[in-house]
Structure 1
Amino acid sequence: MITHSDDSAGILRVATYNIHKGVQGIGPARRLEIHNLGHAVEQLDADIVCLQEVRKMHRREAQYFERWPEVSQAEFLAPEGYESVYRTNAFTRHGEHGNALLTRWPVIGHQHEDISDHRFEQRGLLHVEVDIQGQHVHVIVVHLGLVPGSRVRQVQRLRQFIEREVPSHAPLVVAGDFNDWGLQVKHTLARFGLIEFDATQALTYPARLPIVQLDHIYVRGLTPLGLKVPRGRIWWRMSDHLPLIAEFRV
C-alpha cells in the first residue's frame, strides 16, 4: 500500500493503464470514454504513465463519435507539461494502436521493438529513456500476448532486448499488461533481476469485479515502496482494466 510523505524528493511515481482504446461497450451501446480518461490520468498524479491499447487513429470511430479527439490519444491524454511518446503495435483495417508513455521528466530517447509471436496478435515493446534530475531511467512499456506459449517467448525477447539496449547499472522500469493469470511471468522476470512490490490485493482485471492482477510494474535498480489500485464505479466504467500505481525510491 502506498503511503504519502511530505518529502517527495527521490520518489518516482509510476502508473500503468490499459485504456481499451478509449471506448467501452459494444455495438450501438458503445460509449466514448477518452475524455473521462483524460481526467483520470491527471488524477493518477504519476511522474510516468505507461499506457496500452492506445489509438493513434481510427477512421470508423472518428466518424461514429462526434467528440473523437483530433489528435492521437497519447497526445490527448498527456496532462499539461507532460511529454508523450507513442509507437504502433498493431495495424488494423481502420487504424492503428499501440503503447504510449507520458512523462513529466524530459525524454532522452525512445525506440520500439516488434515482439509479435504469430500473425493473429501484433505486439511490441516501447522503450523510453528519461532524465530524472540527472539520473537516466529506462522504462519499457509492454503488452504481452494472450497465448501462454507466446508470453514465454515474448518474455525471452524482452530479456534479450534489455541485455542489448539497457546498461546493466541503469535503473529500469518494465510496466504494462502482461496477460498472465498465474505467476510464470513474475518468476521468470525475477530470475533476471526485475522485482515488484508484493501486494496481494493489487487486482486489476476485470475492472468491475477484479479477480486477477494482469497489470504489473517491475523494477531493477529502484527500491519499491508501495502499490495501489484505484477502485470505484468511476474507474470501471472507463476501461476493462483498472490502473495500477507504484512508488519507488530513486
Structure 2
Amino acid sequence: MTLPIARSTGAAAGVPTLRVATYNIHKGVRGVGPARRLEIHNLCRGVAALDADLVCLQEVRLFNHGESRRFARSHLGWPEQGQAEFLAPQGYDSAYRTNARTRDGEHGNALLSRWPLGDVVQHDISDHRFEQRGLLHVPVRWQDRTLHVVVVHFGLIHRSRVRQVERLAHYLSAVVPAGAPLLVAGDFNDWSERLDAPMATAGLARALDHGGERAQRTFPSRLPVFALDRVYVRGLRCVAAQVPRHGSWARLSDHLPLVVELRPT
C-alpha cells in the first residue's frame, strides 16, 4: 500500500505553516451487499500518512451494532473504540460529535489534532427531517494563538446548503471573535460549484492552490471529477494544496482526502 504524502518544499524560514486535511471516510466501510469490506484499519494508516496537523473527518462512527456484528470475524475486526479515537495517530487529540442517528448506530464529524483542543461544540444545522446535519466547532491552540476549527458536512440539496451556510454564518458571528483566525473544512456536497459566494459573505475564502486557479477534485475517488471536499479560511492563506490519488487511496473511501498548507495572513 503506497500512501505517504509529501509536504511542500517552499516553506519560508520562520513562518509557521499549518497542514490541514479534510476527508470523508464513508464510515470506514466500502462496497455494497456481500462485497462490503472493512477499510477502517487501512484508513488508520492513511490518516497517519497525511501527516497533517489537523485532520477534519466526516461520516465517522462512534458505534454501529450491525456493522460490528458483521465484521466481528473479519481479519482485524471492528474497532472496540469509536472511529475518531481509533484513527487518531499517536500524540494526537481527538474530538467527535454525532450528527445523525440510524437504526443500528450513528455517525458524525471529528477532528484529530497535534495541537491542544479547547471546548468541543456540536451545532445542529439540519434543514429538513430527512437529513440530519451538524457542525463541529473546536478551538485549537496553535502557535500561541486560538484558531477556530469548524468541521461540516452539508446537505444534498442546493437550497438546503445555502441555508446551512446562513446558519453557519450566524453561528460564527455569535461565537467566534471577529479577528480570530478561522477555518471551515469538510464535505460541502456542492456539485455545481455555487457555494463560494455565500461563504464569502461570511468572510470565508476557499483555500485553493496556484492562486485560486484550480479546484482540487476529490469525488468519486476512483475518477474524481467534483471538488466536494474543501477548506475555507479567514486570517489564513493557502500556500499549497493537493489530493493524493496514487497507490491505494481510491479504495479506502468514495472520497479522496484534500490536504492544504496554510499560513497566517
- TM-score of the two chains, using structure 1 as the length reference: 0.96
What's the CA shift for 1:183?
Answer: 2.5
Q: Give the 3 Å change call, closer, same or farther, for CA 8–210 of structure 1 in structure 2.
A: farther
Task: Specify the alignment match of 1:31 in structure 2.
Answer: 37
Q: Following superposition of structure 1 onto structure 2, how do residues 87-166 of structure 1 map, counting pairs within 5 Å? A: 87-166=97-176
Q: Give the 3 Å change call, closer, same or farther, for CA 228–249 of structure 1 in structure 2.
A: same
| Residue in structure 2 matching 1:3, options 3, 8, 23 | 8
Q: Give the 3 Å change call, closer, same or farther, for CA 129–243 of structure 1 in structure 2.
A: same
Task: Specify the alignment match of 2:3 in structure 1.
Answer: none
- Segment drifting more, 187-196 vs 125-134: 187-196
**Number of residue equivalences:** 250
| Residue in structure 2 matching 1:174, options 166, 184, 191 | 184
What's the CA shift for 1:191?
Answer: 2.5
Would you say the 8 A contact 1:2–1:228 is kept in 2? no
**Partner amino acid, structure 1, of 2:93:** E
**Partner amino acid, structure 1, of 2:133:** R
Higher strand share: 1
Moved over 3 A (4+): 5-9
Task: Specify the alignment match of 1:218 in structure 2.
Answer: 232
Tell me, yes or no, if structure 1 residue 45 matches structure 2 residue 55: no
**Partner amino acid, structure 1, of 2:19:** R
Q: Give the 3 Å change call, closer, same or farther, for CA 220–201 of structure 1 in structure 2.
A: closer
What's the CA shift for 1:69?
Answer: 0.1
Tell me, yes or no, if structure 1 residue 64 matches structure 2 residue 70: yes
- Structure 1 residue matching 2:118: 3-state secondary structure: strand
* Distance in 2, Cα, partners of 1:190 & 1:149: 17
Task: Flag structure 2 segments of 5+ consecutive residues without an equivalent.
Answer: 1-5
Task: Flag structure 1 segments of 5+ consecutive residues without an equivalent.
Answer: none
* Distance in 1, Cα, partners of 2:263 & 2:109: 25
Task: Specify the alignment match of 1:184 in structure 2.
Answer: 194
- Structure 2 residue matching 1:216: 3-state secondary structure: strand
Q: Deviations for 1:225-244, whole angstroms, at most 9, x for unmatched residues? A: 11110002401101000000
Q: Deviations for 1:44-69, whole angstroms, at most 9, x for unmatched residues? A: 00000000000010001001102000
Would you say the 8 A contact 1:208–1:233 is kept in 2? no
**Partner amino acid, structure 2, of 1:184:** R
- Structure 2 residue matching 1:155: 3-state secondary structure: helix
Q: Percent identity?
A: 57
* Distance in 1, Cα, partners of 2:179 & 2:46: 34
What's the CA shift for 1:182?
Answer: 2.0
**Partner amino acid, structure 2, of 1:172:** L
| Residue in structure 2 matching 1:54, options 56, 60, 68 | 60
